[in-house]
Amino acid sequence: MAKVQKLFDFIDASPTAFHAVESVRKELEKKAFSEFSEGDTWRLSKARKGYVVRNSSSLIAFAIPEKKIKGFRIYSAHTDSPVFRVKENPELTFGEYIRINVEKYGGMIVSSWFDRPLSLAGRVLFEKGGKIEEKLVNIDRNLFVIPNVAIHMNSDINNGYKYQVQKDVPPLFAKGKKGVFGKLISEETGLKADEILASDLFVYPRQKGFTFGAKDEFAASPRLDDLACVYAGLKGFLDSKDSEYVRVLALFDNEEVGSGTKQGAGSTFLEDVLFRICESLSYSRTEYLKLLHESFALSADNAHGVHPAMSEKADPVNRPELNGGVVLKFNGNQKYATDAVSAAFVRKIAKDEGLKLQDYANNSDIPGGSTLGNISTGHVSIRTADIGLAQLAMHSSCETMGSKDYEDLIKLACAYFGK
Ligand code: ZN
């Protein structure tokens, strides 16, 4: 329990992608990584451990070797999870009830958000001395509940119910007259209402991570997809030692909505950072491309474990179990970037480390999801394998995984980077 508690603490401190980046930033700063801005000229001859943040929600950290550089070793994961986003003009009133006007961000299991404590987190943009500044906000108390309708009034609910987000989901927030929400944000941020210009705010589940099972073999928490892979990658990255490769930890926002934003895996963020590292070391474009040829990327995002209640949805044999080891993901249509070349590379590392791996493929009649790997290779074309941790209840407000698998992922990531 003690070990997995650190993962739970990380997730608990990271209710949104902005906070996840902040959590990672704190760990990097402790290890003397310096921040580089995309708006500056970089001089990497002295500071060889750095990180770059884009949109406060994506982060790329890098460690440049002392020796001659052979290539890049990249590990990517995503900072966002399915969540309800607060719309502009957020108060909906019915009599004296005030509910919060929300819309979906990503594809969540809507029913899992009902009848549980929720709160609010995100960022607020405000004016100070003629400048626009940004502040994170995370309200650390129970603020909302989305109450179910009694079964007496919705007697068919157990036969399947089609949720209408606009009608059913707005969380119950207050009783009174309009203006309570704005006042709360002012109080929480210490800003006057007329100083606040804009915000990106999200409703998140207050549930803290916990272990369960006869031997505490399971771990449940919100946002395991994909903060468990973010955390394992960060630990492996920080535990690793100087090698012949530039070690790169690339954490992207917006995977849950297709990665097509300026800070998503479909953007030029990774390509820009890799190129600027080379440029600041006075490498030519040809030398940069030669390095890419020798590079590798691990794209880490959670995988579906076989569910005991619906095993027919899984492939008959490529069906990962919880606590069965890190999962290597394959897909015929290349939604996962793994191929024989990249699978062989990962399997060799696992073999050398004595780590078990499991294979995942979709049931051939069921389309699966996609992830970062094949989107990222559109910009930085290098050998890539998709990996992840087996989990149940993906995109529920509280997901379940094995309490041990993430430790294997830390070891695998560390060995991959160099130890
Ligand atoms: Zn994911």
Instruction: Return d(Cα 416, Cα 387) in angstroms, integer.
Output: 13
Beta bridge partners of 329: 360, 386
Instruction: Return d(Cα 397, Cα 100) in angstroms, integer.
Output: 18
DSSP three-state, residue 315: coil
227 shares a domain with 197: no
Q: How far apart are the first and last CA of the chain?
A: 26
- 216 within a domain of the structure (yes/no): no
Give me Rg for the CA atoms of the chain. Answer: 22
132 shares a domain with 21: no
Last residue of one domain, picked from the residues 171, 205, 239: 205
The CATH number of residue 245's host domain is 3.40.630.10
- 380 within a domain of the structure (yes/no): yes
DSSP three-state, residue 275: helix
Distances (CA, A) of 72 to 33, 211, 244, 306, 313: 18, 36, 9, 34, 37
The CATH number of residue 133's host domain is 2.30.250.10
pLDDT score at 60: 98
239 shares a domain with 179: no
The Cβ-side half-sphere exposure at 412, using a 13 Å CA radius, reads 32
The residue segments making up the domain with residue 281 are 2-81+222-418
Q: Could you give the strand order of the β-sheet that contains 303-304, starting from the edge strand earlier in sequence?
A: 210-212, 218-221, 399-402, 390-392, 303-304
Last residue of one domain, picked from the residues 140, 174, 205: 205
Distances (CA, A) of 369 to 270, 333, 361, 391: 22, 11, 11, 14
| % pLDDT > 70, the chain | 99
22 shares a domain with 65: yes
- 337 within a domain of the structure (yes/no): yes
pLDDT score at 371: 82
- Residue with the two structure tokens 């130890």: 419
Say if residue 368's pLDDT is above 80: no
Q: How far is the centre of ligand 1, averaged over its atoms, from the C-alpha of 354 (Å)?
A: 26
Instruction: Return d(Cα 360, Cα 330) in angstroms, integer.
Output: 6
Question: Is residue 373 very low, low, confident or very high in pLDDT (cuts 50, 70, 90)?
Answer: confident
- 52 within a domain of the structure (yes/no): yes
Say if residue 346's pLDDT is above 60: yes
312 shares a domain with 277: yes
| % pLDDT > 90, the chain | 92
Instruction: Return d(Cα 259, Cα 84) in angstroms, integer.
Output: 18
Question: What value does the mean pLDDT of the chain take?
Answer: 95
Q: How far is the centre of ligand 1, averaged over its atoms, from the C-alpha of 226 (Å)?
A: 5
pLDDT score at 139: 97
Q: How far is the centre of ligand 1, averaged over its atoms, from the C-alpha of 403 (Å)?
A: 18
Q: How far is the centre of ligand 1, averaged over its atoms, from the C-alpha of 256 (Å)?
A: 7
The model's pLDDT over 142-161, given as tens digits with 9 standing for 90+, comes to 999 999 999 999 999 999 99
Q: Number of H helices and number of E strands within the chain?
A: 10, 20
358 shares a domain with 253: yes
93 shares a domain with 49: no
Q: Where are the alpha helices (DSSP H) in 92-155?
A: none
65 shares a domain with 184: no
- 27 within a domain of the structure (yes/no): yes
Closest by CA to 328, choosing from 352, 350, 312, 353, is 350
96 shares a domain with 66: no
Q: How far is the centre of ligand 1, averaged over its atoms, from the C-alpha of 58 (Å)?
A: 15
The model's pLDDT over 51-108, given as tens digits with 9 standing for 90+, comes to 999 999 999 999 999 888 999 999 999 999 999 999 999 999 999 999 999 999 999 9
Say if residue 265's pLDDT is above 70: yes
Question: Is residue 317 very low, low, confident or very high in pLDDT (cuts 50, 70, 90)?
Answer: very high
Q: Are 56 and 123 in contact (CB under 8 A)?
A: yes
- 212 within a domain of the structure (yes/no): no
Query: How many C-beta atoms surround the C-beta of residue 76 within 10 A?
Result: 29
DSSP three-state, residue 235: helix
- 45 within a domain of the structure (yes/no): yes
Instruction: Return d(Cα 230, Cα 236) in angstroms, integer.
Output: 10
Q: How far is the centre of ligand 1, averaged over its atoms, from the C-alpha of 229 (Å)?
A: 9
231 shares a domain with 374: yes
The model's pLDDT over 376-413, given as tens digits with 9 standing for 90+, comes to 877 889 999 999 999 999 999 999 999 999 999 999 99
Written as six digits, the tokens of 318 are 């490529």
Q: Which long-range contacts (CB under 8 A, 24 or more apart) does 347-356 make?
A: 349/412, 349/415, 349/416, 350/325, 350/326, 350/412, 352/415, 353/411, 353/412, 353/415, 355/325, 355/326, 355/408, 355/411, 355/412, 356/324, 356/325, 356/326, 356/408
Q: How far is the centre of ligand 1, averaged over its atoms, from the C-alpha of 254 (Å)?
A: 10
Q: How far is the centre of ligand 1, averaged over its atoms, from the C-alpha of 282 (Å)?
A: 36
The model's pLDDT over 190-247, given as tens digits with 9 standing for 90+, comes to 999 999 999 999 999 999 999 999 999 999 999 999 999 999 999 999 999 988 999 9
Q: How far is the centre of ligand 1, averaged over its atoms, from the C-alpha of 93 (Å)?
A: 35
Q: How far is the centre of ligand 1, averaged over its atoms, from the C-alpha of 12 (Å)?
A: 17
Last residue of one domain, picked from the residues 138, 170, 205: 205
- 110 within a domain of the structure (yes/no): yes
* E-state strands within 171-278: 172-175, 196-205, 210-212, 218-221, 245-252
Say if residue 367's pLDDT is above 60: yes
pLDDT score at 378: 78
pLDDT score at 47: 61
129 shares a domain with 66: no
340 shares a domain with 226: yes
| Amino acid symbol at 29 | E
Instruction: Return d(Cα 40, Cα 146) in angstroms, integer.
Output: 45
Q: How far is the centre of ligand 1, averaged over its atoms, from the C-alpha of 362 (Å)?
A: 15
Closest by CA to 187, choosing from 223, 139, 219, is 139
Beta bridge partners of 330: none
Say if residue 375's pLDDT is above 70: yes
Question: Average pLDDT of 329-342?
Answer: 93
Question: Is residue 3 very low, low, confident or very high in pLDDT (cuts 50, 70, 90)?
Answer: confident
DSSP three-state, residue 158: helix
- What total of structural domains would you count in the chain? 2
